[in-house]
């Protein structure tokens, strides 16, 4: 039988592996890292091609449903091997053998695998195997793997012995789940598959195993106008996921975007783009101090496809480009007099925007860019305080971008109402919500949905 499997989510990791008709997988890791969740996700993933059977040595059916509610649909309906003290029925038979022995487990596997294409989850194998001597354990493991192979079946061994796994040498694949600062899955072995990403971050939000894969971002620009998010009393970041993470933006709030040195600048730009577009498209305005490495045309190419000409009238893009066209929304910035540029924009252009629209204005500034050209720390720090007072008094908002190594980080941190940290690990971008604290989120970008993005809570 040839498997046709969608290659997204878990499919991007396991598709080629299952297409090679493997017989076995070991999932190992400490308690609570998501081993059972991953095993059930894989069963759900290949259920059109296999008959599932879940054999538990550690948890009852009732507890399993409490922990992973969605698997109730996976484990009910027809052809059930009933768990002890339960009359529940299931498409994937569940057998409760917490009081069994290693021989009972082998007999259960033999019974399940005798029918063609059985998919057996043994949770957990080492709970019983550690009671047997090494010779008996190895014999049982070889027997079960051989039975699965002979009957076109598949067996998952779940283990809480991350290091001492005798079955690791027999199975076709071994994955280890770790729960450090951010959960990740390490692929130790996967026969028939080229391992492009050995380490894969994942979330267990809503009791699902959701991988956060490294993304090869190609920003497409669909021809559609950005749909703003509007709240009655608060402002939006332009992204419902980030709004929920920070409980939206309040009037006069200052937002600090702390960025790591290795951050993906494209992801930072995307998050800021959503904020800028949301203010403009909801009738407000935006002032953007461009970074010297980005020509004004590059910024406009990201903004213009998603807004109208009327929206652009409420934009001021401050750029250091030498040959700057005479567009109403462009303002020349001199690096010899950055403070003078700030003063000119805030005292002249900002009031003009407020006349055009009495709705909220967003100011976006890369403080690190300013620091690189001004040696006087106090000059920037004092101006930040002045800016904060002006914008707060008008109920407007500011976004400041800098690393924690910049000279004015402490000053910016002290005036920030919202503090976010953007960082990258192994090619995957994350946002940590520091103030208010609400955990760490993985960032998922779908090129076809650009400029939208999703956040998945990691911890």
- Residue 402, SS3? strand
- pLDDT at residue 88, as a whole number: 38
Instruction: Give the other-Cβ count within 10 Å of 53's Cβ.
Output: 26
How would residue 108 be classed by pLDDT, with cut points 50, 70 and 90? confident
- Burial classification of residue 44, based on how many CB atoms lie within 10 Å of its CB (0-12 exposed, 13-18 middle, 19 or more buried): middle
Q: Which residue has the tokens 């669909």?
A: 222
Record the tokens describing residue 152, joined without a space.
Answer: 């076109």
Please compute the mean of the pLDDT values over residues 319-326 and round it to a whole number. 78
Q: Are 255 and 272 in contact (CB under 8 A)?
A: no
pLDDT at 275: 97
Mean pLDDT of 367-374: 62
Q: What's the pLDDT score for residue 405? A: 84
- Other CB atoms within a 10 A radius of the CB of residue 46 amount to 17
- Interatomic CA distance for residues 418 and 399, integer angstroms: 9
CA distances to 20, 23, 53, 127, 291 from 146, in Å = 17, 8, 17, 21, 62
| Cα end-to-end distance, the chain, whole Å | 39
Tokens encoding 10: 């878990």
Q: State the CB neighbour count (10 A cutoff) for residue 143.
A: 13
Higher-scoring residue by pLDDT: 300, 263: 300
Domain over 240-457 is classified CATH 3.40.50.720:
no
In this prediction, what percent of the chain has a pLDDT beyond 90?
40
pTM of the model: 0.85
Q: Specify the fold of 11-212.
A: Rossmann fold (3.40.50)
- The reply to whether 11-212 and 240-457 are identical in fold is yes
- Enumerate the domain spans of the chain: 11-212, 240-457
């Amino acid at each position: 039988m040839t498997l046709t499997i969608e290659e997204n989510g878990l499919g991007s990791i396991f598709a080629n592996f299952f297409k090679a008709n493997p017989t076995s997988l070991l999932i190992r890791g400490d308690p609570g890292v998501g081993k059972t969740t991953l095993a059930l996700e894989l069963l759900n993933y290949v259920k059109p091609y296999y008959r599932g059977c879940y054999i538990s040595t550690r948890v009852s059916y009732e507890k399993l449903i409490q922990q992973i509610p969605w698997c109730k649909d996976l484990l009910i309906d027809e052809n059930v091997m009933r768990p002890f003290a339960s009359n529940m029925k299931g498409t994937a038979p569940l057998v409760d053998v917490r009081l069994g022995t290693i021989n009972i487990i082998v007999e259960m596997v033999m019974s399940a695998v005798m029918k063609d294409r059985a998919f057996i989850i043994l949770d957990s194998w080492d709970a019983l195997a550690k009671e047997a001597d090494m010779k008996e354990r190895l014999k049982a493991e070889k027997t079960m793997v051989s039975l699965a192979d002979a009957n076109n079946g598949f067996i998952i061994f779940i283990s809480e012995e991350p290091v001492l796994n005798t079955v690791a040498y027999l199975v076709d694949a071994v994955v280890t789940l770790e729960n450090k600062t951010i959960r990740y899955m390490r692929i130790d072995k996967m026969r028939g598959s080229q391992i492009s990403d050995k380490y894969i971050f994942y979330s267990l939000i809503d009791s699902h195993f959701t991988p956060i894969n490294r993304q090869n971002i190609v920003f497409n620009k669909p021809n559609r106008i950005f749909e703003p998010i509007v709240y009655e009393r608060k402002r939006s970041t332009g992204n419902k996921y980030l709004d929920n993470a920070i409980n939206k933006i309040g009037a006069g709030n200052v937002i600090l975007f702390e960025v790591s040195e290795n951050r993906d600048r494209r992801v930072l730009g995307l998050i800021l783009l959503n904020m800028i577009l949301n203010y403009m498209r909801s009738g407000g305005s935006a002032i953007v101090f461009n970074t010297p490495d980005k020509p004004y045309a590059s910024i406009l190419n990201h903004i213009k496809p998603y807004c109208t000409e009327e929206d652009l009238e409420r934009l001021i893009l401050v750029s250091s480009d030498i040959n700057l066209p005479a567009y109403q929304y462009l303002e020349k910035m001199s690096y010899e007099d950055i403070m003078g540029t700030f003063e000119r924009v805030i005292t002249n252009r900002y009031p003009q925007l407020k006349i055009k629209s009495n709705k909220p204005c967003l100011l976006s500034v890369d403080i690190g860019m300013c620091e690189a050209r001004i040696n006087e720390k106090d000059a920037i720090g004092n101006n930040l305080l002045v800016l904060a007072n002006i914008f707060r008094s008008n109920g407007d908002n500011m976004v400041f971008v800098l690393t924690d190594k910049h000279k004015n980080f402490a000053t910016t941190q002290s005036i920030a109402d919202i503090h976010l940290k953007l960082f990258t690990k192994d090619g995957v971008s994350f946002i940590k919500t520091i103030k208010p604290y609400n955990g760490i989120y993985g960032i998922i970008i779908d090129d076809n949905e650009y400029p939208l993005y999703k956040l998945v809570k990691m911890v």
